[in-house]
Amino acid sequence: MIMNKPILLIMLLFLRVGAHLVETNYLNRENQNNMEQEQTAIEAVLSTYEEALNTSDVAKVLSIYHDDGVFMPTELPTAKGTKALRESYTAIFSQIQLSIKFRIEEIEITGDMAFATTYSKGTVKVLAPGIEAPEENRELFVFQKREGVWKVARYMFNKMSKPE
Residue 88 lies in a domain: yes
86 domain residue, yes or no: yes
What local confidence, expressed as pLDDT, does residue 145 receive?
97
DSSP calls for 125-151: EETTTTEEEEEEEEEEEEEEEETTEEE
**50-99 pLDDT per residue, tens:** 999 999 999 999 999 999 999 999 889 999 999 999 999 999 999 999 99
* Mean pLDDT of the 12-27 span: 68
Nearest to 115, CA basis, from 42, 64, 52: 42
Task: Flag whether pLDDT at 8 surpasses 70.
Answer: no
- The predicted pLDDT at position 143 comes to 96
Give domain status of residue 11, yes or no: yes
Of residues 21 and 39, more confidently modeled: 39
Any domain includes 38: yes
pTM of the predicted protein model: 0.78
Structural domain harbouring 58: 5-159
Query: Which pLDDT score is estimated for 33?
Result: 77
The CATH number for 134's domain is 3.10.450.50
Q: What is the mean pLDDT of residues 131-137?
A: 88
Q: Does the residue 49 lie in any domain?
A: yes
Domain count, the chain: 1
Residue 164 lies in a domain: no
Mean pLDDT, range 37-55, rounded to an integer: 97
Confidence of residue 123 (pLDDT cuts 50, 70, 90): very high
